[in-house]
Chain A
Amino acid sequence: QQQVKQSPQSLIVQKGGISIINCAYENTAFDYFPWYQQFPGKGPALLIAIRPDVSEKKEGRFTISFNKSAKQFSLHIMDSQPGDSATYFCAARGGGYQKVTFGTGTKLQVIP
């Protein structure tokens, strides 16, 4: 059972454009929603995270939008750069003691 659904699977964006990755969850017990960025040959690294009592969180060019009633959250990358090309994973904590459930990942390619 996929508890966190992520889309799209891959995304190509032109330099300077906006990249948008969406995630949806089912378990209302989830209480923490991090996004991880993974470059080829590396482990994932925390990019930004949000709690469900906040509707939006912004860090530089990266913004998480959170819709608790719809059980959806999304990552927006403004002014996308080639260096942002990576795989992005949304995740959710909860539904069991200290467990984090990951989405299936989105491979982002930013072309010049």
Chain B
Amino acid sequence: NAGVTQTPKFQVLKTGQSMTLQCAQDMNHEYMSWYRQDPGMGLRLIHYSVGAGITDQGEVPNGYNVSRSTTEDFPLRLLSAAPSQTSVYFCASSFQGAVTEAFFGQGTRLTVV
């Protein structure tokens, strides 16, 4: 039982490049979400999904896209990377939305130069 798996763990991008951060969970959780963690800012919600085919915006969605074609996968796409998107990104999943315990992945450290 792997839990929540994020890939890659580290990534360096040039300004303007695009990329996809992968997130997969094997717990059959309905709810998945993406956060970014910045010093002094805590964890801020980017996008979330309450089930396959359903996504919605969080607190800081600009510059990011998501889709949820399966229960297991919830990729985060950076359309045109900017230095302001340098951060640590966490994917999380939970069984019954945000009511129950959220399980987090190990994180992806992204640097945009």
A interface list, Cβ under 8 A from B: 6, 9, 32, 34, 41-46, 49, 89, 93, 97-105
Cβ contacts under 8 Å, B102 to chain A: 34, 46, 100
B104 on the interface (CB 8 Å rule)? yes
Q: Is the CB of B99 within 8 A of A89?
A: no
Q: Is the CB of B41 within 8 A of A42?
A: no
14 contacts between A and B (CB under 8 A): A9-B40, A32-B98, A42-B106, A43-B92, A44-B104, A45-B103, A46-B101, A93-B98, A93-B99, A97-B50, A98-B50, A99-B45, A99-B58, A100-B102
Contact size class for B?
20 to 34
Assess A98 versus B42: contact at CB under 8 Å? Given A32-B99, A45-B104: no
B61 on the interface (CB 8 Å rule)? no
Nearest A-chain residue to B43, judged by Cβ = A102
Closest Cβ–Cβ distance, residue A49 to chain B (whole Å): 8
Closest Cβ–Cβ distance, residue B38 to chain A (whole Å): 10
Closest Cβ–Cβ distance, residue B39 to chain A (whole Å): 9
